[in-house]
Amino acid sequence: MNIQVNTDHNIQGSEELNNYVKSNLADHFDRFKTALTRIEVHLSDENAGKTSANDKRCLLEARVSNHQPVVVSHHADTIHQAIEGASDKLLRSLNTMVGKLNDRTSPKDLLVETPVETEEEY
């Protein structure tokens, strides 16, 4: 699973931030590591330096093999809270996706072969 971190020009990207994001996501999504090909992380400050509530945003895009990408976002007061919130949302979305895939039955599974009774004439 590849984790790619992107920041806008208002967020100071650093090695420490990248390590935090990668370790957090690797821990949260360890269960899905074989199914996820890539997680893209987009961090942004929507008010560009002005201080206001819930102005930090984390958008996560999970690329699931053989399926459409799953995208979630979360707004919070700090980048770390936004990352935590978005990763929780993504985890719930992936759990729901897996549940739906496991509940699905194919038409072949619905066919039950029963022997046809025939009357034998003596």
What does the pLDDT read at residue 12?
81
Q: List Cβ<8 Å contacts ≥24 apart for 73-77.
A: 75/46, 77/53
Report the percent of the chain where pLDDT is more than 90: 36
List, for residues 50-100, the tens digit of each pLDDT value: 676 778 999 999 998 888 899 999 999 889 999 999 999 999 999 888 777
Write down the pTM of the prediction: 0.75
What does the pLDDT read at residue 47?
79
pLDDT at residue 22 is higher than 80: yes
| Position 8 confidence tier, pLDDT thresholds 50, 70, 90 | confident
Residue 99's region, left for phi above 0, alpha for psi from -120 to 50, else beta, is alpha
Q: Spell out the domains of the chain, with CATH numbers in brackets.
A: 2-79 (3.30.160.100)
pLDDT at residue 116 is higher than 70: no
The Cα angle at residue 47 between residues 41 and 52, in degrees rounded to 5: 105
Element (H, E) at 87: helix 79-103
